[in-house]
Structure 1
Amino acid sequence: MAGKAECVVEREDQTVIRSPSTVGVVPSVVRLHRYVPLPPPSTGPVTRLGILRRDGRRCAYCGASGETVDHVVPRSRGGSHSWENCVACCLRCNRRKADRLLAELGWTLPFVPGPPGRRVRSGWIGQERDPAWEPWLAPVA
Structure 2
Amino acid sequence: MTTMRTLVLNAGYEPLTVVSFKRAMVLVMNEKASVIEHVEGDPVWAGRNAYERPVVILLTRYVRVPSARRIPVTRRGVLRRDDHRCGYCGRNAATIDHILPRSRGGADSWENLIACCLKCNNLKSDRTPQEMGWQLRMAPRQPRGTAWTVRGTERSDPRWEPYLALAA
Q: Same fold (TM over 0.5)?
A: yes
- 1:127 offset after TM fit, Å? 5.1
Corresponding residue of 1:81? 108
TM superposition score normalised by structure 1:
0.76
- 1:25 offset after TM fit, Å? 5.9
Quick one: which of 107, 117, 131 aligns to 1:90?
117
Asked if 1:8 corresponds to 2:23, the answer is no
Matched residues in 2 for 1:89 and 1:111: separation? 12
RMSD of aligned residue pairs (Cα, Å)? 3.1
Q: How many residues align?
A: 137
Corresponding residue of 1:27? 54
Deviation track 1:18-49 (CA, whole Å, cap 9, x = no partner) reads: 9xxxx9665112233444332232212x2111
TM superposition score normalised by structure 2:
0.65
Corresponding residue of 2:24? none
Distance 1:93 1:80, change over 3 A: same
Distance 1:15 1:97, change over 3 A: farther
Q: What secondary structure, in the 3-state scheme, does the structure 1 residue paired with 2:103 have?
A: helix
* Greater displacement, 7-16 / 75-84: 7-16
Corresponding residue of 2:21? none
Corresponding residue of 2:93? 66
Q: Any gaps of 5 or more consecutive residues in structure 2?
A: 1-27
Q: Which residue identity does 1:100 align to in structure 2?
A: R
Structure number with greater CO (CA < 8 Å, separation at least 6) is 2
Distance 1:75 1:138, change over 3 A: closer
Report the identity percentage.
Answer: 44
Distance 1:12 1:39, change over 3 A: farther
Structure with greater strand percent? 2
Corresponding residue of 1:101? 128
Q: Any gaps of 5 or more consecutive residues in structure 1?
A: none
Distance 1:119 1:55, change over 3 A: farther
